Structure formats: structure tokens, C-alpha cells
A and B are shown apart, each in its own frame.
Chain A
Amino acid sequence: MQRLHAPVLLSGNDAVALAVKQSDVDVVAAYPITPQTTIVEKLSKYVADGELRARFISVESEHSALSACVGAAAAGARCFTATSSQGLALMHEVMYIAAGMRVPVVMAVANRTLSAPINIHCDHSDIMGSRDSGWVQIFCENVQEAYSRVIQAFRLAEDSRVQLPVAVNLDGFTLSHCYEAVQPLEDEDVRGYLPRRRRVVLDYESPVTMGGLSLPNTYFEIKLEQARALESSKHVFREVVKAYPGEKDGLDVVDVYNPGASVKAVCLGSTAGTLRHVAKTYGFDVGVVNVKLFRPFPREEVLAALSEAGLVAVFDRALSPGAAANPLTSDVKALLYDAGLRKPVWTVVYGLGGRDLTTAVVRKLLEELVEAAYAGRQEARTVYLREVAAW
């Protein structure tokens, strides 16, 4: 591919805003919350400067932000919102509705933990709270990926086989405020990649009723159909990545590093980079399975990556208090059980409320994992990586 633009230095949030601008959205409705705020600040500036022909709706809450997006999408607009933490929790009700009404809204979530106690730093508690809302949920490893995924998200959401809202997750601060060299696409390439597709919208000439009441005689089928659309969106996701006019290496549903290793670490988001770095630098024979597409969960691909493993460590950056397992671990265990694969699975809880995952901590853990695998230890363990780095 011919590179017309030199790479530019962008924060994760700037990269998201640039991607949204290039995607020619019609409506942005959003409310400030750290660490997402600079996305919408940037977008409001693009609109004010005439660089983006859109209406920026400064709503009075996140509940209204997503509600306005549902209305705008129903009227035919390409629309975007972004939030974090408490804002996402406030949207919770409307997230289920957006998916149930099959509106192609795209949202960036700069992941942040949930109160109480109030804390602005990263973990995945916010999105895990809306895990079952029926949205496509993508996790990004770096700023370049956040940029690409937002553009891809519009194409995926608007595909007639999908017609579902898409959440693009980027780790709060670690990605949202981290500056990286990003290779943006040409505006024309984005435009060509995101053609306007016809779909059913609110229009007087062909009236439709949206958001009707369903009784027990219809609800079940409607929800199953919705769940199937989410399931099959994995294939469309692949097509969408394949057609993407930029770099697509490592952008499949899962990204596997060192597939032959017997110890496998499974994770979401920016942590994959840290794990790979430590494994490489210190020569641990540990594979890293980075789950990029979290919903729909890429069962076949994750299973393929783990089927030969002797020991699996699942990195969970959210708790599911009182549950049989934390969110990602729960998915992985179910998968292995269904495949009849009995292997030791450790659940590694880390980074809650923004606690740093340092290379030193990771190094110690990988040592333990390799040792346990070598010794053939079969017990499952829960590890809490709580060491506090010097401030």
C-alpha cells in the first residue's frame, strides 16, 4: 500500500476522534467523563471548525447520549458516542435497547473502573457490566488499533447481516492518553470503505413502527434472532478486516503469539503487549492469546489456540463477585469444558482500579507458570497481582 501520509503522533483518544471524523459521522452525542473526555472535546472542535459535517449534541447525561444516538440512528444517521465507567453504567438500560432495536451505533469506551470507591483509572469493570447487552465488543491493544477498529466498527455495525451496535474498548489512560505513532488512512480510502448503505429508517414515505411492545408469544424469537446476528457477526468482522484499506496484521479475532508454547496466557486489551514483551525479553516459552473480539466470543479460534496447552492463565481485569469464575476465565473454562479438554486454568486478577502491571510482576508470574507447567501441576489457582509499583 502506498503511504501518502507520514505517521502522526496521536493519543488513543485523538486517534479515535480522527477515525470518527474520517468516517463522516452525522451525529455525535456525548457527555464528558475521564478518561474519555478528550475524544468528544476533539470531535466538538472538528464540528465547530467545519472539518466534520455533523451535529454535536451536548447532552445532559450519558443516558441521553445513547438515547439520542438510538434516535439519530433510527432516523438514518451514522452516529457515535464515547464514554467510560459511571457513564457506561448510566447507559446500561439503553445499551440493551440499542442492541434489541438493531441500531448501528458505534461507541468508544475508554475503560475505567466503577465506583465505589470512586477511581478514574483503568480496569474492565465498566464494559463487563454490559457484557451481555448484545453489543459487538472489540478490545484494542494499541493506539493504531483503536484508530483502525473505530473505522471498521462503522462498516461492521452497518452491515445488513449485523445491524448491531459496536463498542470499541481502549484501556483508560494506558491507551486513551498514551501517544503513539499512528498511520492514518487517506480520507478517500475511508470514504470508499464506508459507503452509505440503505436500511429501514424513520421516514414518512414508508412508515415503520420501531420499539414496539412484545409479549411472551413473540419475544423469545426476536431475542434469539438478535443473538444469532451477534454470533454470525464474527464472519462479517473477518470480512470487514479483510477489506480494510490499511494495515491489518494482528487484527483478526484473536492474535496469538508463540502458538507452540505449552503455557498460554489469555488476555484482553493493552496487557497483551506487556505479556509478549516480558516473554520475549526474558526468554519465557509462554504464548499470548490476545482476544480482540470479545463479543461474539471467538470460540473456535480461542480453542484452537489453547487445545495443545498444558497450562492456561487467564488475565481478568474485572471481578465477578460471587460467580464461579471471573468474566474472561468463565468464557475460557466453558469453552474447554465443552471441548472435553481438562487442563489447569489459572485466573490472574490484575490491574483493578488502575494498579500498574509492571514487567517485574509479570516476570515473576511467568516464572511461576512455566515452573508449574514443567512440574505438571494440575491444580487451578487464583492469583491476585497486587504489587504496588513505586509512585
Chain B
Amino acid sequence: MVKPVQRLDELVDTEALSPGHSACAGCGAMIAVRQILMAAPRPLIVVNATGCVEVVSTQIPHTAWNIPYIHVAFENAAAVASGVEAALDVLEAKGLGRRHHILVLAGDGGTADIGLQALSGAFERGHRFVYVCYDNEAYMNTGIQRSSLTPLGAWSRTTPAGKLEEKKDLVAIATAHRIPYAATATIFFWKDLVNKVRKAFTFDGPSFIHVYAPCNRGWYFNPAETVRLSKLAVETRYFPLYEVERGVYRINYFVATPKPLEMFLKPQGRFQHLLKPENSHLMEALKQSVDRRWEELVVLSQRGKQAYAAMQG
């Protein structure tokens, strides 16, 4: 067990990601990546899927990366990471190289849609890496098209009247592979995030972290609000913070009295139509889905408590 970080100065102080990349001002994904890199152990290799983070940080002949970094394609980050992990494992045994910690960064599209097969394969094979899905709830790099993690009701360029389907439960999918550790996190709760990253790297197998990353460009909000929105997402129970360790669920931030969901939706252009009376049925459906998800989590975490108590004897 690693000691939890309490203060900023306990984190890695070298910046693995240089300033001067070309992300939009106030990009939640890049804030998340920076926090993750400050928490991840060294030596570290980053494997990235095609998407905003890759595009804004690797423009030839420049790079924002001060640590080894590889991008291959959109849907195969987990497969590339499998290869890197296997290679260094063998090379170390042969005295030709050494093992590194491996961090995979992929968007919601690169993880939950086109990359799901490669991810599932890698989870099942049990490669040792930490896979982070930074979730900005759409394909941002190609200009805001829906993904399976776009929320119910949200506008995107391919859901012009609002999305009619619910967001996939990514952590449940990950957990169904019986991986040792899966968690959610977001940037406002930085201590929770960095400690989850540190914990994730301690397992001898794949770990998964679903990081909520507000995107002002795609959600249409004031860039100054990025961090506040990540906070509101949690406080409205829209994006609960929890972890699943060896199948045992634990809510890390219990939202006893949630703020009204509207507080989270209102500042965002993508939800404006939901606030209109003629779309109250969509709003209602979204609220119900948020409530149902929370209740499910509470049940799962109670079961988790019992399981934990039983384990303690």
C-alpha cells in the first residue's frame, strides 16, 4: 500500500508535460493528464490513442513530452501497451532493457467505442499497465460528435436534437474483466485522483481509471469554469467518485445531499435545450438515470462493505 498524498509537494516535481502545447485554454483533459503524470511512478512510458491529447502535444517537430511517449492509432492503445509491456518484460529478463511503468491515455471514443475490443483483450490477458480514459463525453478532436459516453440528452454534432441513449457504464465493463482495480476520478478532487493513480500502479495487472475531463470547446462553457464543472459533476451525483478493488465497490465521496442537476447543466451550451419546457421529458430521463446509477452504486458499495467485513473475519 502506498502512503496517500496529502500535499502538492509530495508529488513528482518534474513536469513530464511541458507547457506550450496547443490544447484549448482551460482544457480539462490536459489538467487531468498533468495531475496523473505528477502522481505516476517512474520510470514511465506513456501510450496514447489518437484524440485531443495526442494532437495537441506532439506536433512535429515539437513535442510536449519529457518522458518516452508513443502514439500509434485511434483504436489500439491497449494493444500497443500490451506489446510495450511484454517487450520490456522479456528484454529485462535477457539483460537487454528494463521494465517501465506504463500509462495509457485514451479518450472516451478511443476507449468505449472503437478501442473497446483492444482494451477488453488486454484486460483479459492481464498486462501490467494503468489505462486512463479521459472522458470529455464526445469525439472532440473531430469536432464534437457523440460517443457512447455522451450523456443522455446532450447535444453534439451527430445528436443535434439531443442524445437519446444512456451513457455506458465503463467501470462496470472494466470490472467485468476481473481486473484488480478500477476507479473514477476528476480534476477538482485532485487528491482523490492522484492517490488513485498511485494505487493503480501498485497492482500486478491492468488497472483502469475513468477520469472526467470537462471540455469547454465541446460543451460550450466559459473556460474559466472547467474545474468548477468537474466539482459540480460530482456534487450533483452526475459523476460519482468510487473505486472497485478486486471486485469490491467503495464510494469515495458520498454525496449525501446532492446539488440540483441543473447547476451542472446550466453553464453548458450542450444542455440548453434540456432546460426548455418542451424537453422536460428528456430532462426527466436524464435525472432518473443519474438517480438510478447512484442507487445502484450505493447498493454495490454496501455489498462491498459486507464483503470487506467478511474478508476481515
- Is B118 interfacial (CB 8 A cutoff)? yes
Q: Are A213 and B86 interface neighbours, CB within 8 A?
A: no
- Is B80 interfacial (CB 8 A cutoff)? yes
Minimum CB–CB distance from A318 to chain B (whole Å) comes to 26
Contact string, B148-178, partner A, CB cutoff 8 A, digits 1/0? Answer: 0000000000000000000000000000000
Contact string, A188-232, partner B, CB cutoff 8 A, digits 1/0? Answer: 000000001000011111011111111100100010000000000
Contact A204/B100 with A76-B87, A212-B60 known, Cβ cut-off 8 Å? yes
Q: Are B73 and A67 interface neighbours, CB within 8 A?
A: yes
- Is B311 interfacial (CB 8 A cutoff)? no
Name B70-97 residues within 8 Å CB distance of A: 70-73, 75-76, 78-84, 86-91, 93-94, 96-97
Q: Which one of B79, B82, B84 contacts A63 once the chains associate, using CB atoms below 8 Å?
A: B79
Q: Are B100 and A218 interface neighbours, CB within 8 A?
A: no
- Give bound CA distance, A124 to B37, whole Å: 47
- Is B19 interfacial (CB 8 A cutoff)? no
- Give bound CA distance, A101 to B117, whole Å: 23
Which chain A residues lie closer than 8 Å to B192 at the CB level? none
Give the interface segment out of B39-47, B105-113, B205-213, B257-265.
Answer: B39-47
- Give bound CA distance, A128 to B154, whole Å: 44
Q: Are B79 and A68 interface neighbours, CB within 8 A?
A: yes
Q: Are B68 and A208 interface neighbours, CB within 8 A?
A: yes
Q: Which one of A57, A74, A93, A212 contacts B58 once the chains associate, using CB atoms below 8 Å?
A: A212
Quick one: closest B residue to A103, CB to CB? B72
- Give bound CA distance, A346 to B45, whole Å: 54
- Is A54 interfacial (CB 8 A cutoff)? yes
Q: Which of A54, A70, A79, A101: most chain B CB closer than 10 A?
A: A70
- Is B69 interfacial (CB 8 A cutoff)? yes
- Is B125 interfacial (CB 8 A cutoff)? yes
Q: Which of A70, A207, A208: most chain B CB closer than 10 A?
A: A207
- Is B145 interfacial (CB 8 A cutoff)? no
Name B96-153 residues within 8 Å CB distance of A: 96-97, 100, 117-118, 120-121, 124-125
Contact A57/B68 with A26-B87, A76-B97 known, Cβ cut-off 8 Å? no
- Is B254 interfacial (CB 8 A cutoff)? no
- Is A349 interfacial (CB 8 A cutoff)? no
- Give bound CA distance, A130 to B42, whole Å: 39
Quick one: closest B residue to A75, CB to CB? B87
Q: Which of B58, B91, B118, B120: most chain A CB closer than 10 A?
A: B91
Q: Which one of B72, B76, B90 contacts A54 once the chains associate, using CB atoms below 8 Å?
A: B90
Which chain B residues lie closer than 8 Å to A64 at the CB level? 76, 78-79, 82, 117-118, 121
Name A238-295 residues within 8 Å CB distance of B: none
Q: Are A196 and B96 interface neighbours, CB within 8 A?
A: yes
Number of interface residues of A (CB under 8 A): 47
Q: Are A55 and B86 interface neighbours, CB within 8 A?
A: yes
Minimum CB–CB distance from B6 to chain A (whole Å) comes to 27
Which chain B residues lie closer than 8 Å to A55 at the CB level? 86-87, 89-90
- Is B63 interfacial (CB 8 A cutoff)? yes
Quick one: closest A residue to B80, CB to CB? A71
Q: Are B60 and A222 interface neighbours, CB within 8 A?
A: yes
Q: Are B66 and A213 interface neighbours, CB within 8 A?
A: no
Q: Are B94 and A26 interface neighbours, CB within 8 A?
A: yes
Q: Are A72 and B71 interface neighbours, CB within 8 A?
A: no
Contact A26/B91 with A67-B118, A71-B84 known, Cβ cut-off 8 Å? yes
Q: Are A70 and B72 interface neighbours, CB within 8 A?
A: yes
Contact A101/B87 with A53-B94, A67-B118 known, Cβ cut-off 8 Å? no
- Give bound CA distance, A77 to B45, whole Å: 15
- Give bound CA distance, A263 to B239, whole Å: 75
Quick one: closest B residue to A65, CB to CB? B79
Q: Which one of B70, B93, B121 contacts A71 once the chains associate, using CB atoms below 8 Å?
A: B70
- Is B67 interfacial (CB 8 A cutoff)? yes
- Is A27 interfacial (CB 8 A cutoff)? yes
Minimum CB–CB distance from B50 to chain A (whole Å) comes to 9
- Give bound CA distance, A240 to B81, whole Å: 32
- Is B61 interfacial (CB 8 A cutoff)? yes
Q: Which of A74, A97, A215: most chain B CB closer than 10 A?
A: A74
Q: Are B90 and A209 interface neighbours, CB within 8 A?
A: no
Q: Which one of A29, A75, A202, A213 contacts B60 once the chains associate, using CB atoms below 8 Å?
A: A213
- Give bound CA distance, A142 to B55, whole Å: 46
- Give bound CA distance, A101 to B90, whole Å: 22
What are 26 sample pairs from A and B whose C-beta atoms fall under 8 A apart? A26-B96, A29-B82, A53-B90, A53-B93, A55-B86, A58-B125, A61-B117, A63-B75, A64-B118, A67-B72, A67-B80, A67-B83, A68-B80, A70-B83, A71-B87, A73-B87, A74-B83, A77-B86, A202-B84, A202-B100, A204-B67, A207-B66, A208-B68, A209-B68, A212-B60, A213-B58
State the A residues within 8 Å of B (CB).
26-27, 29, 53-55, 57-61, 63-65, 67-77, 79, 93-94, 97, 101, 196, 201-205, 207-215, 218, 222
Given A29-B86, A67-B83, A94-B72, 10 other A-B residues pairs in contact with their CB atoms under 8 A: A57-B86, A71-B84, A72-B84, A74-B83, A75-B87, A93-B73, A202-B45, A210-B71, A211-B71, A213-B55
